[in-house]
Amino acid sequence: MPRPKQAAPASAPAATPASAAPQSASTHPTPKFCSNCGSPLSPGAKFCSNCGNRIG
């Protein structure tokens, strides 16, 4: 039986168009490390858990 030829989606783009690049460090200027002792900071931390340095 002859199969019905299904038109392949030739218009499908191989690569997705470059979407808006994620802007980093634009709304969250909080550093990831303490500027005083260099200890890693948990996200949203206002004070360093190591030395107590105020963040931001």
What is the binding site for Zn ion (CB under 5 A)? 34, 36-37, 39, 48, 50-51, 53
Q: How far is the CB of 33 from Zn ion (least distance, A)?
A: 8
> Residue 31 corresponds to which tokens in the numbers above?
């550093």
Q: How many residues does the chain have?
A: 56
CB-side neighbour CA atoms (13 Å) of 5:
2
Choice between 9 and 29, CB closer to Zn ion: 29
Q: How far is the CB of 45 from Zn ion (least distance, A)?
A: 10
| CA 13 remoteness from chain centre | 24
Choice between 32 and 51, CB closer to Zn ion: 51
